[in-house]
Structure 1
Amino acid sequence: MMFFGEDVPAVAVTDVPQDAYLLDVREQDEWEAGHIPTAVHIPMGELSDRAAEIPRDRDVYVICRSGVRSAQVTVALNNAGWRARNIDGGMKEWAGAGLAMVAESGAAPRVI
């Protein structure tokens, strides 16, 4: 596990604004199993190619399964001029808080 110290601005799942730009950086199978209905999916490995899709005029809230990948992405985005925040605890915490999720298959959403 990597520790990022105080360099990673983070928010609790319950503090994510309703109209936030949510960036989900998990892999395709994780996304399909369950994701936030309003999130934008750009897997971590595709970020450098797809960075232009991420708005620079608003805060970006980054989420993964547990918060580790999203912390790395948050640091990278902030270093490149975005205003990014890591969502503490990731999708595991989001699901645990009973917040809205959908699955691509129409099945009950889950975090894998």
Structure 2
Amino acid sequence: MFRGPSIPTVTVGDITDDAYILDVREADEWAAGHAPDAVHVPMMQIPARIDEIPEDRDVVVVCRVGGRSAQVVAFLQQNGRERTINLDGGMQMWEASGRPMTSEDGGAPRVL
């Protein structure tokens, strides 16, 4: 079976303090709960907003479980953003690891 290029991944515990966290989930998922320092750019907006993504530091891309973010990492790398990494397990792993979260909808932070 053909497998595409390997997508680099990082675990929650291995994210460096200076990493740029790019959350590519939809607006309702973001509002329910996200990493406090994350930047929200929904997956479908990435091509139009690629210039907003830094090239000078690691960019950790996150979605709910890692599927959409892996696609975004592949796209970004194909477009010269070599320092992009997929968060293994996505926000579900972030939450399970007890990492801080914040919400935008007034409820307790949670992963949709």
1:103 correspondence with 2:103 = yes
- Structure 2 distance, partners of 1:102, 1:19, is 19
- Structure 1: which 4+ aligned runs deviate by more than 2 Å? none
Identical positions, percent: 54
Report what 2:30 is aligned to: 31
- Structure 2 distance, partners of 1:89, 1:35, is 14
1:85 is paired with a residue whose SS is: strand
- Structure 2 distance, partners of 1:12, 1:5, is 21
- When structure 1 is superposed on structure 2, of 52-61 and 31-40 the one drifting more is 52-61
Q: Matches of residues 1-80 of structure 1 in structure 2 within 5 Å?
A: 7-80=6-79
Report what 2:84 is aligned to: 84
Identify unmatched segments of 5+ residues in structure 2.
none
2:22 is paired with a residue whose SS is: strand
Figure out how many residues of one structure are paired with residues of the other and give that number: 109
TM-score, normalised to structure 1's length?
A: 0.92
- When structure 1 is superposed on structure 2, of 95-104 and 76-85 the one drifting more is 76-85
Q: C-alpha displacement at 1:6, in angstroms?
A: 6.0
| Pair 1:9–1:32, CA change in 2 (3 A) | same
